[in-house]
Amino acid sequence: MASHDHDHPHDHDHDDHDHHHDPHAPQKDHDSGPADPHEVLEQALRELLIEKGVLTAGEINAQVDFMDTRSPALGANVVARAWTDARFKQRLLADTRVALAEMDIDIGSLADFRTVENTPETHNVVVCTLCSCYPKLLLGIPPAWYKSTAYRGRVVVDPRGVLDEFGVKVPDGVDVRVHDSTADLRYIVLPMRPPGTDGWSEKKLASIVTRDTMIGTAIPKVTEKTAARAARGKSAS
Ligand code: FE
């Protein structure tokens, strides 16, 4: 698609700290006004593909339903597995596609996936500077801020500053690496397992792995609430 906005790649006008409540969320219901040009284009293209017999409406609906099955919960399960199984982690870092297939997660054939591991020396963060490439088949639909020109432009220029706005303070001695996703290659961050999680089950571990921790704009945290929940789950099982 030639719909990328390259006019203002370093747009600095979005310093509103409102990353999690972007009013321009992708889930439009058309109650809020006329369709924008991209929606008109999408509808025209969809109708043309159906008319020309390239795709059926059923196939399109099936793909939409398939995407709806994808959510950050899938990625969280993968991270929890990597935290508890060192061999799986090695396979995940060596060949993400193969490791995901072990967990019956098919990432399709369009793009390759690479897992980048956070360590005490390195913090990784993912962006698509060109448009909005994202590991949808593992994390579901990207958040609106991920697609914003503000994030795309600024995280490359000032990753520490942007991470700080997300509440992630990267210590001075830690190297920050920004990974630019493309149509061919999508990145997932493997965050560090936080202290205070010894003996937790994979399921409990997965519960603290959020979408943003796998983009690199958050760090998994053990709060009193999650710790109490984990303790209850452990005694119950
Ligand atoms: Fe992209």
Instruction: Note whether residue 189 is domain-resident.
Output: yes
Average pLDDT over residues 105-122: 94
Q: What is the pLDDT of residue 30?
A: 54
Indicate whether 64 and 77 sit together in one domain: no
Indicate whether 109 and 135 sit together in one domain: yes
pLDDT per residue over 22-71, tens digit each?
A: 444 444 455 656 778 888 888 888 888 888 888 888 888 887 887 777 88
Both tokens assigned to 215: 């983009």
Provide Rg for the chain, Cα atoms.
19
Indicate whether 102 and 47 sit together in one domain: no
Instruction: Note whether residue 15 is domain-resident.
Output: no
Indicate whether 44 and 161 sit together in one domain: no
Indicate whether 92 and 47 sit together in one domain: no
What is the distance in A from the centroid of ligand 1 to the CA of 74? 21
C-alpha dihedral over 191, 194, 199, 201, to 10 degrees?
Answer: -40
Indicate whether 143 and 47 sit together in one domain: no
Instruction: Note whether residue 20 is domain-resident.
Output: no
Whether 237 contacts 201, CB under 8 Å: yes
Indicate whether 118 and 156 sit together in one domain: yes
Q: How confident is the model at residue 101 (pLDDT cuts 50, 70, 90)?
A: very high
What residues act catalytically? 128, 131-133
Long-range contacts of 165-170 (CB under 8 A, 24+ apart): 165/15, 165/17, 165/19, 166/19, 166/212, 166/217, 166/218, 167/218, 168/123, 168/217, 168/218, 168/219, 170/123
Phi-psi region of 30 (alpha: psi -120 to 50; beta: other; left: phi over 0): left
pLDDT per residue over 173-206, tens digit each?
A: 999 999 999 989 999 999 999 999 999 999 999 9
Percentage of the chain beyond pLDDT 70 is 82
Q: Which of 25, 48, 69 is the last residue of a domain?
A: 69
The one-letter code for the residue type at 99 is A
Instruction: Note whether residue 52 is domain-resident.
Output: yes
What is the distance in A from the centroid of ligand 1 to the CA of 132? 4
User: How far apart (Å, rounded) are the C-alpha atoms in residues 169 and 176?
Assistant: 11
Q: What is the pLDDT of residue 91?
A: 98
Indicate whether 196 and 159 sit together in one domain: yes
The residue that leads in pLDDT, 57 or 154, is 154
The one-letter code for the residue type at 188 is I
What is the distance in A from the centroid of ligand 1 to the CA of 183? 6
What is the distance in A from the centroid of ligand 1 to the CA of 107? 17
Instruction: Note whether residue 201 is domain-resident.
Output: yes
Indicate whether 63 and 81 sit together in one domain: no
Per-residue pLDDT at 13 exceeds 60: no
Q: Which of 16, 50, 69 is the last residue of a domain?
A: 69
pLDDT per residue over 74-100, tens digit each?
A: 999 999 999 999 999 999 999 999 999
Q: What is the pLDDT of residue 233?
A: 59
pLDDT per residue over 162-179, tens digit each?
A: 999 999 999 999 999 999
Average pLDDT over residues 8-28: 41
Q: How many residues does the chain have?
A: 237
DSSP state of 129: S
Instruction: Note whether residue 21 is domain-resident.
Output: no
Instruction: Note whether residue 130 is domain-resident.
Output: yes
Q: What is the pLDDT of residue 227?
A: 73
Indicate whether 56 and 96 sit together in one domain: no
Asked which of 12-21, 42-51, 224-233 is least confident by mean pLDDT, the reply is 12-21
What is the distance in A from the centroid of ligand 1 to the CA of 131? 4
Q: Which of 17, 51, 69 is the last residue of a domain?
A: 69
β 175-180/185-190 pair status: unpaired
Q: How many domains does the chain have?
A: 2
Instruction: Note whether residue 29 is domain-resident.
Output: no
Indicate whether 97 and 164 sit together in one domain: yes
Q: Is 37 exposed, middle or buried (0-12, 13-18, 19+ CB in 10 A)?
A: exposed
Average pLDDT over residues 9-31: 43
Most confident of 102-111, 146-155, 226-235: 146-155
CATH of residue 195: 3.90.330.10
What is the distance in A from the centroid of ligand 1 to the CA of 214? 17
Domain holding 57, by residue range, is: 40-69
Q: Which helix (H) or strand (E) holds 100?
A: helix 96-102
Indicate whether 125 and 160 sit together in one domain: yes
Per-residue pLDDT at 120 exceeds 80: yes
